[in-house]
Chain A
Amino acid sequence: MKKSILIIAAVLMTSVIFAANMKYYQKMGQTLPKFGECKTIEDYHNLGNEFKVIANVEKEEWLPLYYHAQCNIIMSFMNCDAAQKDEFLEIANESITKMIAIAPKESEVYALQAFYCTGKLVVNPQERAQKYGPLSAQAIGMSLGLDPENPRAQYIKISNEKGTAQFFGQDTQIYCTQAQELLDKWDDYKVKSRIHPSWGKQQVEGIVNSCGQTN
């Protein structure tokens, strides 16, 4: 009797944990598709709120923080006011810092950090390029060091370098080729789970298309 109670308890407990885990996957699975529906800053803000709520419950998970930060970075790109851009980026940075503490060996976290640095840079390139350019490159380096195939880190790298080359009036063909190569093998990259980051393909397509237009 005693033994069976223990077994039941054990089964109950694992199922509780499992159920909790399932619940987390389920919730993330429900929330992620909303990225596709976001159109305005407000939409991204509200979606970011949803990820924040999940992050508040799942203190050991880095993914809700990742998406919360991503929402805010996107918001900074959509906003026109420099001070507000910075405000959104500061919120993003808080989540990035927390996320890196939780998953310091995860390639994706640094890819997003690089994205954040690029966001900081474009607010005022004249004043910030010197600081955030190298920081972005450093984060990309970290990301690719942990996973050389990470397509998002590769995308940000190509995008940054192409932007720089364009600025200096240099030939961008090499980056167009790189973007095409990245696009060709994009689907070969195995995303760890359906709730892991998988964005970026559209953006790379954007680069490839813009290359087609200029050439």
Chain B
Amino acid sequence: MKSLGILIASIIISSVSFSQTVIIGCVKDEKGVSLVGANVYLEGTYDGTSSNSNGTFKLTTKEIGKQILIIDFIGFKSFEQAVVLNGYPIELSIVLQEAFNELNAVTITAGTFEAGDKKKSIAITSLDMVTTAGSAGDVYGALRSLPGTTTVGESGKLYVKGGDSRESNTYIDGTLVYVPYSSSAPNTSVRGRFNPYMFSGTMFSTGGYSAEYGQALSSVLSLTTNEIDINDELNIGILSVGGDIGGTKAWKKASLSATFGYNNLKPYMFLVPQNNDWINEPTSMSGDISFRLKTPKSGMLKFYSKTSQSKLELFQNDLNNPGEKNAYRLVNDNIFANASWTGELKKDWILYAGTSFTNNNDDATIDSLGLNKSLQGIHTKVMVSHKLSQTIKIKAGTELYSKQYCVDYISSIGKFTEQFSNNTLTGFLESEIYTSQKFVTRLGSRFEYSDFLQKGNFAPRLSTAYKLTPKSQVSLSYGWFFQNPDDDFLVKTNGLDYEQANHYTFNYILKGNNRELRSELYYKEYKKLFKYGEVEPNIYTNNGNGYAYGLDIFWRDNKTIKRGEYWVSYSYINAERNYLDFPEQAVPNFTSKHNLTFVYKHWIGELRSLVGGTYRISSPRYYNNPNTAEFNAEQTIAYQSLDLNWSFLYRQNIIFYASASNVLGFKQQFGYQYASKPNENGAYNSQPILPSAKRFFVLGCFITLTKKGDVNQLDKIN
């Protein structure tokens, strides 16, 4: 008992006599720069202070004995040091090491435009897709304002870096969309099937993409749909060309929404003169359903399905018989459905599983002849990502692409059918290794086997990025890319091989302060492209080849002009190929050597309006005139367009929208169409390929009604 008393007394005395210890020091980073505001404290106690503007600190504590001093600062590794506190001042000089932080680390940017919630890139966002003039709410329209793309007015599809439109693939939540574009008459422009409002993340790669993606020679567009909806909503959209109505029901961990849309261009085309001779103007009907469910451990299940039908009928001039017209009729039925789940299996292990289904029928009738094409496709993908350490990530997965394609030729004689089905099994493995915050290497490989071609391919991919300064970086990528030949050839034969493209990309980015400059140099080498036999066109070969090289420049500035933002894209593309029925290597008709796009948006606060304009100019494209000796030697006129749009926020939930394309009325002409056989004078008849109208106008109103959150909104409408 006595000894206990002494002990207590001695503790009290000691704590009195050594009442406090002062720790002084300075905090610097590895380069010797003083760190201001570092949190300096003794573990397990309240005693702490912050480093001042010189990076020095003074910590006074009444604690005694052995303690642990901790220094924390955002972006640096936490520093710990044991100290013995006995009343004698302690002086420390502390150097903090930069922590590896994924958010600040360099990223691979060669060939890639990425945007989303967690991405810091300002290249192009989902909002841009809606508000960029000239895109008219079309995902692909907006992407055409980025460098590397060419505008092909008579197609509307995506043409990337000297590649054909079929060399680009679109994925939604990781699953392939076999038929991403709407169907239209030959030489008229198509649109994407999906509403840009659906997506919150976009990754558009114009080359050198990850081993995760295959079966595309030129580019990959990967779209991520919105997260769970949190409000019950009713959406109504009224447009000059149609309208839609949709509803959303939100629960705590799930949401369900459905939309029905109907478009009919007849009234519009009645008011605005058209170049085409319509019998039945285009109409379309669509319905979609989307379901989101949060599963345990931050997992997310997404389901989406869209069914649509579109019809059109018009007269086409029969070039072989001048003065005569053929009625062309097209009915398209399309179903797309996909489901995907992403979630954490255990710490640092993420599983993705997704599958999509496409059923597309294009029934075309030209007078009494019928041409029906039907495609059923299933894409299934399973992928595991594992974080081996802070700096090493591994991704492995497998996919199955299944496709059934069938073409019916219907004439008075009867029906003749051609079809094929193919299953391509793939596997990929990729690692991303950070040697430091400044240097990353991505090494991947991909294997594919097609049971129809009975051939496999192996595609290595390599990308690196190095941060030169906190605001600038360079990125390099190299890879092999394979794709099956077009369905219309496979339906005739399975004696073909994969088409191949090798990409070399060098990219430099300087960004900061809401400005971004990107420049990219690339070279693409095409091999084993499909080609008709030189002597016997019915013999199909893989003897085609080609190349493309060019320079892309992108400058975006959201800073200089208050309330305004703009971007400029310039692409130089030099491409030639010898494929299909080309007699020699020639510039393909879908590339323009020079392409310049200027996009501007301005927010006018007083009018609560976002106004925007897009000006585009592309140098002439080449096309083939069979009446001349030289192949693909004629040039179209240069393409120019100035598009404007205006969005007016009348109320929080009511938006008015207006847009007009080619307001200045530039002459647009996309080359000539020729008869399939010469006339009696030995010449091929021709007619110019024109846009369906000089200008296109859209007027619309979008209304959102919500129940939860702001009840007043319902009243505001009246």
Contacts and interface: CB of A to CB of B under 8 A. Distances in A.
Interface of A: 23, 27, 42, 45-46, 49-50, 52-54, 56-57, 81-83, 87, 91, 126-127, 134-135, 137-138, 141, 161, 164, 167-169
Given A141-B708, A168-B608, A53 B603 contact: no
Contacts of B709: 134, 137-138, 141
A53 B652 contact: no
B394 interface: no
How extensive is the interface on chain B, given as a class?
20 to 34
Contacts of B231: 134
A197 B93 CA distance: 38
Contacts of B36: 42
A1 B358 CA distance: 84
Contacts of A167: 608, 652
B663 interface: no
A50 B48 contact: yes
Contacts of B46: 23, 27, 53-54, 57
A167 B72 CA distance: 41
Interface of B: 36-37, 39, 41, 43-50, 53, 72, 74, 120, 125, 127, 230-231, 513-514, 603, 608, 610, 649-652, 708-710
Contacts of B45: 57
B641 to A, nearest CB: 25
B473 to A, nearest CB: 16
Contacts of A127: 125, 127
A167 B650 CA distance: 10
10 contacts: A50-B50, A52-B39, A53-B39, A53-B41, A53-B47, A53-B48, A127-B127, A134-B230, A168-B651, A169-B608
A43 B599 CA distance: 42
Contacts of B710: 137, 161
Given A46-B50, A138-B230, A169-B608, 19 more contacts: A23-B46, A42-B37, A42-B53, A49-B49, A50-B50, A53-B48, A54-B46, A56-B41, A57-B46, A82-B514, A126-B127, A134-B230, A134-B231, A137-B710, A138-B709, A167-B652, A168-B608, A168-B650, A168-B652
Given A45-B50, A49-B50, A54-B46, A126 B37 contact: no
Given A127-B125, A127-B127, A168 B37 contact: no
A76 to B, nearest CB: 14
A82 B43 CA distance: 34
A89 B214 CA distance: 38
A82 B72 CA distance: 24
A82 B37 CA distance: 20
Nearest to A47: B50
A27 B652 CA distance: 45
A141 B709 CA distance: 7
B48 A164 contact: no
A68 B709 CA distance: 28
A50 B46 CA distance: 8
Contacts of B649: 168
A106 B43 CA distance: 28
A204 B46 CA distance: 33
